[in-house]
Structure formats: structure tokens, C-alpha cells
Amino acid sequence: MEINHYEFKYGEFGEALGVQISLRGFDVLRFNNISKGTAFTIDERYKLKLNGFLPPRVKTLEEQVKSSLDIIEKKESDIEKFIYIRSLYDRNVVLAHAVIASDATKFLPIIYTPTVGLACQQYSSMFRRPNGIHFYPDNIDDADHILRNYTDQDIRIAVVTDNQGILGIGDQGAGGLPICLGKLMLYTQGAGIAPWHCLPISLDVGTDNEDLLNDPNYLGWRHKRLTGEEYYTFIEKFVVAFKKQFPHALCQWEDFSKQIAFTVRDKYYKELISFNDDIQGTGSVAVAGILAAMKVKKEKMTDQVYLVNGAGAGGSGIAAQIQTELVEQGMDGKDAIARIFTMDSRGIVTSDREIEPYKVKFAKNPETLTWLKSPEDNTLLNAVKNEKVTVLIGTSGQPGLFTKEIVAAACQNTDRPVILPLSNPTTKAEAIPKDIYEWTNGKALVATGSPFDPVHHNGKEYRIGQMNNSFVFPGIGLGVVASGATEVLPVFFSAAAHAVAEFVSDEDIKNGILFPPLDQFREVSLEVAKRVGAEAIKANVAQKDCVFSEFKHNNDLDRLNTLVDKMCWSPRYLDQV
């Protein structure tokens, strides 16, 4: 694949071998995908006509990483560290990713949740350099032309947001783009999707955030959000252009709000190779945690009762994936639904009130809830007590919702309740792990959506497993790309959940820890990718010829596994050829 300025060279299994650069002089330093900064060798400086444009000392990548880490340590806040890493990325993608890879546990919370939420809120004031593509009503008719002129054309993964449901902070207008940037950095860190194969896209359809509309520095399309037919026409124009320019690329829908998230996902899942991480990725990683919890409890998922508090896109996705898993474990579909309760701001979702379509599946007939005699009875505490809930999941964004009394009620239903306060960022978590350990004397099995410090209890330290979508979506993306899957199947998310759960060590299971540590992020992602690729082959949705050379969908799993390992990019400087 040739582009105007540089061309990457690949081996048989998609591994990047080198880069051929047509640029010369200072222009070489302008492109972050190929710039080495002070690491250009003397020979490269003469060959590329860089002599005199850099100070004389030649640094190694390791020396550059050390210098960058020293600078980061002097930053006083996580948002300042975020800004530094992003500016480093804008200059030199290899160095930025090498810095992150030096301590993934430390840097993942900085490049993504929870720090990325602040970056979204401050996007207009923090803007330094263009990243990705902004579509808005005044340019959406030129979408085909804009995509065709994007510098990198070998796009394999795009993360696309309409900016409305950003983390726990809602409508951020044009400010949602850092979410896409962060997710794509995780694709690179976890699954080794090279940065030049990644494309962040903002679908700026306006904002209903009055603070942004009244902010003189706001950079987005300063109008109220498009709705109804106008909105869906806008999305359709984007889809048509994207499919035309990148027909084999995976499109990840990100942070769409509630019903829109389901509508867009369901409308285009056959037309585009696409999925919604907030729905399906969240569901997959939640089931991974529950599967690990069952190993601790030595019980079956089919023996549990589930309550998801927060019936938005994420909560509904979790409920759906739990049902899928229960059915796969032999339970009848209706019986599975009967064991899953969802709650919104009005209590248990019931079928006797007007509800959004995506809530209907798990809505309960109020006549079956004998304890629910009046609206005042419809509380979380009553639901946990009366329905004998053993797995309590929070996606509500309401801090402190899981009180001592509610957690104690769950303990009455089972010796080891599973308590999962998943709301992001940390300040939105339904309960603090330290409190849950104290309230239950360490019996509760806990995982959170955001990172928390280890808990010291009864003289022992317990790492808090993070139910982070990053354990799932990068591997799914790599599995889709490696196999050449033409669609993203529900079974991919089940396969991913089992892969993650099986990665939890015996020692962690013994201590009631439900997720691997983040420093195993890449190993987990590669295993997920192999499981997903195998399911694509089994389901006959793998392309006969995938993106890379000669891989055939002939059930050659050994070749698939080799492909996943070999094509996985790591931050190192490529030879200039």
C-alpha cells in the first residue's frame, strides 16, 4: 500500500519490517509515525537530509524513554501527564507507546479512564494539534473526499463516537474525540494494532450541553444536537462513505447514548464490520468477572440471581451477555431472563410502564413481584432482599448507591456475594472496595470499573481486579483483523469472556481476585484474539484471503495463531529502507 510520504513494508505474517520514506529534510520530523527524534542515527540523518536539524547526540529508544519518564514524574497531576503523553504521541508514536508500555498499570489510567474524562471536558482549551477526523453537518456531504484524503489509508480499526454518552459525564460535544484516541492507544498497547492502522472519528452532531454552547472557546459545531431523521441521515452518510473507503476495517461505535447506541449498532452490524464496546464489550468483560467469581465460589452461573442497577447501554449489555452465557450453559432462554433483574431510576424495570425498547427484554411482570405492592416498595434494598440477589452489578453512575445495608442483604443470600461497582470514573463508583471488604469481613468478591488501590484487610493486601473493557475489545479487534472476519458475531464476546476468566491465576482465584493484573494486558489480548479468530473460522465468516497475504479460512488454527503473534506491533524503531 503506497501513500505520498512513506510506505510501510510487511513480512508474510503482517509484521512491520521497515518503512520507505520519500520525504527529505525537516518534513521527515513532521510525521509522528516515522519520526525518531533524537534517535535518528548519523547515517539516517545524512540519508534523509536531517543533518543540522537535530542536536548532535544520538539517543537510543531506551534513553528517550528514561528522559520522558523523568519529565512525567515531575508533572503534578494526571491531566498534565495526559497532556505530555499526547504531545509526545503527536511528535513520535513509537516513543509515546514505549513510555506507556514501560508501566502499563501506571499509564493506562492516565491515557484512558479515569483521566481521559477530564481531557474530554477540557478538549477545546487543551487543543494543540489535529488528531483524527471531525465530521459535522457542514462537511458530512464531503465525507468520502475527507476519508480519501486522510494521511494514513491502510486503516484497520476506527473508533467512532457521537460524543453524547462520554463515560459518566454525558454530552461533551466535539470533546469526545480523546475517548477515541485513548481507545485506539489501548488497541495498540493491548493487541499491537500499529498506530498508522488506527483512525479516531468524531461525529459532531451538535450538543445539548449549555456550558459548551455558551463557552466562547468551544471548538465544536455550535448548535443543538440533531435528532430524529436528521440525525440518522447524518449517520447514514458517514456509514456509506466509511464503507466505500475502508470496506475491510472494523468500526467500533463508542459512547453513543442509550437507545441510539442500540439502534445504530443493530442497523449497521451487517453493513459494516462493527460492534458497540459500551454494550457488547462491557457485557463480555462483566461475564469474565462473573466466571472467575464462580471459580472462587465453586458454583455455577446458572445458580445465581443477578441484579444490574443502571439500565443504560452498558447495563443492558451486561444483562444480555449474562443471558447468553446462561443459555450456553444449558439454561432455557426464558428461565435465564427470569434470573436477571434490571433497575433504573424508578426501580426494578417492569412491563407495566412505558420504557425504552432496549429495556423491554428484561422488564418483569409486576404481578410476579409479590413484594412490590406500591411504588415506594420498589427499592434496591427490597429487590436484593426479596429476589435473593447473589450478583449485584452497578452501572448507574450513582456514587455510594451500594450501602452497607444493601451489601449486608446480599450476604444473607449467599456466603460470598459478588459485588461489582462498575461506574466510571472512580468518583462515580457505587461503593468503595475498602468499605465492601470491611462490611462483609472480606467475604464479598469485588471488581470495579475504575482503578482502585489495593485493600488491606485482616493483615493481608488484596489487589482489586479492574473490570476493564481493555481486557476484551483490543483482542476482539485483532481477532477480527487477523481472521478477516466479515462481521462481528455475538459468540466473539462469549469467547473473549472465557479467555479473560481463564487468564486469572490460581493464586488470584484463591484470594478472591477476579481479573488479571493490567501488566498482563497484552498477553490477555493475544489470547482473546486467537479465540475470536478461531470462532470466525468456525462460523465461516473469515475471509478466504485476509488482509495479510496467504491466510486461508481452512481451519488452520496454527497459522492463525502465528499470524496473531507475528503481526502484533511493539514500539520499536523500524529500519529506514
Q: Are 401 and 345 in contact (CB under 8 A)?
A: no
Q: Are 309 and 396 in contact (CB under 8 A)?
A: yes
Convert 203-265 into a string of H (helix), E (strand) and C (coil). ECCCCCCHHHHCCCCCCCCCCCCCCHHHHHHHHHHHHHHHHHHCCCCEEEEECCCHHHHHHHH
The CA radius of gyration of the chain, in Å to the nearest whole number, is 24
Catalytic residues, which ones? 112, 183
Give CA–CA dist 186/181, Å, rounded.
9
C-alpha cell read off for 152? 494514513
Residue linked to cell 491502510? 154
What φ, ψ does residue 88 adopt, rounded to 5°? -65, -40
User: Do the bridges between strand 418-421 and strand 445-448 make them parallel or antiparallel, or are there none, so unpaired?
Assistant: parallel
Q: Are 340 and 334 in contact (CB under 8 A)?
A: no
Residue 370, Cβ density class (10 Å: 0-12 exposed, 13-18 middle, ≥19 buried): exposed
Q: Is residue 393 helix, strand or coil?
A: strand
C-alpha cell read off for 27? 518534513
C-alpha cell read off for 338? 427470569
Residues contacting residue 462 through CB under 8 Å, at least 6 positions apart: 437, 442, 454, 455, 456, 511, 512, 513
Q: What DSSP assignment string belongs to 128-181?
A: -S--SEEE-TTTGGGHHHHHHT-S-----EEEEE-SSSBTTTB--GGGGHHHHH
Give CA–CA dist 173/219, Å, rounded.
9
- State CA 110 to chain mean position distance: 14
DSSP 395: -
Beta pairing partners, 309: 343, 394
